[in-house]
């Protein structure tokens, strides 16, 4: 058992290294895009399914409350949390519409639409990002495997090149934490920023 535990930790840490080596430039661009949107009075809309829904909610909380430093709340909404909205759309239309209809209702040009999908192929995430592109939101996709259709449609694509959902999710939450920390730095800790 001990050997298997060590193997899991090594796989997770190695995948994080692979990710940052392959995505560093794009990760910087995502931080800059989110920072610019927030400076412009825009908001972040986060969404995904299952563990990715939990990641969306987790990161929305980090932006709205605080991450590491004390700072003003930042506008972020997880589109995964309102069961009445999710179930009414799923019942009256289709589950593939649960995020796209919310983006149509509250999204504005310049907002950030941040979709999570370990497969890169989640139909409701794809549809939401397609809607966001049509409405001129800044689209971010955090994916796994080969990125799927999401990777081809977003403005900013961050991909974890693995087929293991648990390992992908471990990298996703690390990436989310890095983005939160760097956005805080860009907005509140750079020299000359108060």
pLDDT digits (tens, 9 = 90+) for 73-85: 999 999 999 999 9
Q: Domain containing 67 — which CATH number?
A: 3.40.50.10490
Domain total of the chain: 1
The first and second tokens of residue 80, run together, are 């995964």
Residue 17 backbone phi and psi in degrees, to 5: -65, -45
For 135: left if phi > 0, alpha if psi spans -120 to 50, otherwise beta; the answer is alpha
CA Rg, the chain, in Å?
Answer: 17
Average pLDDT over residues 164-172: 97
Residue 120 backbone phi and psi in degrees, to 5: 80, 5
The first and second tokens of residue 71, run together, are 């700072």
Per-residue pLDDT tens digits for 91-118: 999 999 999 999 999 999 999 999 999 9
> Could you tell me the pTM of the whole model?
0.95
Sorted by sequence, the CB contacts under 8 Å of residue 90 that are 6+ apart come out as 97, 98
Q: For a pLDDT cut of 70, what percent of the chain falls above it?
A: 97
- Give the structural domain span for 98: 2-189
* CA-to-CA dists, residue 80 to 56, 65, 74, 147, angstroms: 8, 18, 18, 21
Q: Is the pLDDT of residue 146 over 90?
A: yes
* CA-to-CA dists, residue 97 to 79, 89, 102, 190, angstroms: 12, 7, 8, 40
User: Does residue 93 sit within a domain?
Assistant: yes
- 191 — pLDDT class (breaks 50, 70, 90): low
User: Does residue 140 sit within a domain?
Assistant: yes
* CA-to-CA dists, residue 73 to 18, 60, 114, 139, angstroms: 32, 10, 18, 22
User: Does residue 194 sit within a domain?
Assistant: no
- Rounded Cα–Cα distance for residues 31 and 192 (Å): 19
User: Does residue 129 sit within a domain?
Assistant: yes
Q: Is the pLDDT of residue 194 over 90?
A: no
């Amino acid at each position: 058992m001990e050997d298997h535990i060590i193997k899991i930790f090594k796989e997770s840490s190695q995948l994080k290294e692979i990710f940052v080596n392959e995505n560093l430039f794009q990760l910087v661009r995502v931080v800059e895009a989110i920072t610019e949107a927030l400076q412009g009075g825009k908001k972040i809309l986060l969404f995904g399914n299952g563990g990715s829904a939990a990641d969306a909610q987790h990161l929305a909380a980090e932006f709205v409350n605080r991450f590491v430093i004390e700072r003003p709340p930042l506008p972020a909404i997880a589109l995964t949390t309102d069961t009445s909205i999710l179930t009414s759309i799923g019942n009256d239309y289709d589950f593939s519409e649960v995020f796209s209809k919310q983006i149509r209702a509250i999204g504005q040009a310049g907002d950030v639409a941040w979709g999570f999908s370990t497969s890169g192929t989640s139909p409701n995430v794809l549809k939401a990002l397609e809607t966001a592109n049509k409405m001129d939101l800044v689209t971010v996709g955090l994916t796994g495997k080969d990125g799927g259709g999401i990777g081809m449609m977003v403005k900013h694509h961050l991909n974890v090149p693995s087929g293991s959902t648990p390992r992908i999710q471990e990298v996703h939450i690390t990436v989310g934490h890095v983005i939160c920390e760097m956005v805080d730095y860009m907005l509140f800790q750079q020299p000359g920023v108060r």
